[in-house]
Amino acid sequence: MESNESWFGEGPELSVLRMLGLFDRPPEQRAFEALLKPSAIRGLTESLTDLSPIKWRTLLGRLRRARLLAGEDSSNPGQLDTHPLVREYFGEQLRGQQTEAWKECNRRLYEYYRTLAPQLPDSFTVMEPQFLAAICGCNAGLLHEALHEVYIPQIQRGDSYFAAKVLGVRSVAFGFSALFRTRTLGSPVETTNERQSLTPEDQLFILMQAALYLTATRGLGAAEARICYERAEPLCQALGRPLLLCVALIGQWRYSLITDKLTATTQIAERIHSLAQEQNDAALTIAAYRVCLVRSCILAISRPHTSTRCRPSRSGARETFPLIRKTPTRQSSPVYAMEPCPSGISERSPLAKRL
């Protein structure tokens, strides 16, 4: 790569390769043309905007002879393609060495993809431009706009979680929620534009989304999900969101139940129980019952000689099952809406039969 780069020098050939690095597949001709529109992107497209068709074909021919560009496809003569390693190398180079040009390219692609999809697409294929728009918007630093104008209203359809629950693309949905975070998921992506920065409410929403889909796709023992729930906990406290705080604590409890000692899991369960008592909320009370019930059942199974300690939980379980069915908050509460899979115990489960 470096030898080809030295041979061509800084010129239109490298600009084309760096622009191809913006895509993970052969780009649409109109998408590539959106990058070449006036005004020129400084440091990238000045040498490409005024090229005649003959000079453009000559430029592509030089890249093809150097084996850096795939041969022309007779069925799609305007398509440009290159090897994934070439795309990755020059794409990372553009992102690392010409950050402003990289952001401007993504801004133009964001505007382009937003014009392609209908307002409320009903399939993954039709919705794909919205996914691409969200990616490019985040890369361009348009975090607030990508979240509130694309991801929430069009991809997730508000609280209906359309992409995850209807289309079933949970891993894709996590990918987009993770775009708003750093690589370690520890802090939000920063932007120099204050209008595009994420509010604490936005950060909490994204953390809970990322944790939800991480758990759904990687399992209850996903360490990244635990990190998200831990980062969400102080935001819930600062914003006064006890229901989401309960969800975050239950997420930590699940992870501890799978990976940690029972004493650590019990401490988290006690925090959930204390929260339910403080709030005096039906949904939180049910969640606390379920958490304590699981712990008691595990003790009863793993330590039969301590089963007498589980007697209080038996009566609590009998009270909880009809309460789960009758409470009007079950479907509307975030405690249930944000769960990737049932964490309680059904009446027909083996554990329930032991009570």
**Structure confidence by residue, pLDDT tens digits, 5-25:** 777 778 889 999 999 999 988
Q: What is the DSSP letter of 16?
A: H
What average pLDDT does the structure give for the chain?
Answer: 78
The helix (H) or strand (E) run that includes residue 311 is helix 311-326
Quote the pLDDT of residue 336: 44
Quote the pLDDT of residue 173: 54
Phi, psi of 47 (to 5 degrees): -85, 0
The two structure tokens encoding residue 284: 């939180």
Q: Residue 143's beta-bridge partner residues? A: none
Distance CA 321, CA 348 (A): 11
Q: Both ends of the chain: CA-CA distance in Å? A: 66
pTM above threshold 0.85: no
Distance CA 220, CA 293 (A): 18
Q: What is the DSSP letter of 198?
A: P
Burial category of 276 from C-beta neighbours within 10 Å (exposed 0-12, middle 13-18, buried 19 and up): buried
User: Which of 11-25, 74-88, 186-200 shows the lowest per-residue confidence on average (mean pLDDT)?
Assistant: 186-200
- Cα 12 to its chain centre, rounded Å, is 35
Distance CA 354, CA 301 (A): 9
Distance CA 300, CA 306 (A): 7
Quote the pLDDT of residue 123: 82
Burial category of 51 from C-beta neighbours within 10 Å (exposed 0-12, middle 13-18, buried 19 and up): middle
The set of residues, in sequence order, having a beta carbon less than 8 Å from that of 311 and lying 6+ positions away, is: none
pLDDT tens profile 61-80: 999 998 889 888 778 777 89
